[in-house]
């Protein structure tokens, strides 16, 4: 599925600053499983009606005084826009807070990735700032907007808060100054 969606996903995929490298699904899966065994990550597949439609990874897990992780995800083009990804992100975040006992989850998104920005808005992830040239993607260092949630912000869970309509308004709002700094100002209406 990842290879079938290369054209759809390539503009969002991390790249290596010292040159390009090809996607090797087996190596990638082996690395994800090794990180899981070592406690640094949790790989998930995203299923819809029994079909594999995407992937979500909890990465950079740190226990102890930070007790945090990052979430990244992708979905096949034909399943985008069906509300699948927000459910997957909510469930993974609830897993991080509940089962994994983490305190904070962060999601970083490129300013031009409107569908992902909509996901953090729907789920009520709080905007935390602009990360300048944060991740090497598609051959260059790209800015990202950072969003986060802490466990005490969602005592009943992220999925429950979203489905019950209790998500606070505008917590994911990116300030105009950060949009301008990242080269993605809001369109003039």
At 161, which CATH number?
Answer: 3.40.630.30
Total domains in the fold of the chain: 1
Instruction: Tell whether 1 is covered by a domain.
Output: no
Instruction: Tell whether 11 is covered by a domain.
Output: yes
Instruction: Tell whether 132 is covered by a domain.
Output: yes
129: burial class by Cβ within 10 Å (0-12, 13-18, 19+)? middle
Instruction: Tell whether 118 is covered by a domain.
Output: yes
Instruction: Tell whether 125 is covered by a domain.
Output: yes
Q: What is the pLDDT of residues 27-70, one digit of tens each?
A: 888 988 999 999 999 999 999 999 999 999 999 999 999 999 99
pLDDT for residue 22: 58
DSSP helix, strand, coil percent of the chain (3-state; round to 5): 35, 30, 35
32: containing domain: 6-181
Instruction: Tell whether 189 is covered by a domain.
Output: no
Give the DSSP letter of residue 101: -
Instruction: Tell whether 102 is covered by a domain.
Output: yes
Instruction: Give the predicted TM-score (pTM) of the model.
Output: 0.91
Instruction: Tell whether 83 is covered by a domain.
Output: yes
């Amino acid at each position: 599925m990842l290879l079938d969606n290369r054209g759809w996903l390539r503009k969002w995929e991390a790249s290596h600053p010292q040159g390009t490298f090809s996607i090797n699904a087996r190596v990638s899966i082996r690395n994800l499983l090794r990180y899981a065994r070592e406690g640094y990550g949790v790989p998930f597949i995203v299923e819809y009606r029994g079909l594999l439609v995407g992937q979500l990874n909890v990465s950079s897990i740190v226990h102890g005084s930070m007790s945090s992780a990052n979430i990244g995800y992708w979905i096949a083009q034909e399943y985008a826009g069906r509300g699948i990804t927000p459910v997957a992100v909510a469930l993974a975040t609830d897993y991080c807070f509940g089962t994994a006992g983490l305190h904070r989850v962060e999601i970083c998104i490129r300013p031009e990735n409107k569908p992902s920005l909509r996901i953090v808005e729907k789920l009520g992830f709080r905007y935390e700032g602009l990360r300048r040239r944060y991740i090497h993607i598609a051959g260059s260092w790209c800015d990202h907007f950072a969003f986060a949630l802490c466990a005490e912000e969602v005592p009943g869970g992220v999925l429950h808060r979203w489905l019950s309509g209790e998500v606070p308004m505008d917590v994911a709002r990116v300030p105009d100054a950060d949009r301008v700094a990242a080269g993605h100002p809001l369109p003039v209406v």
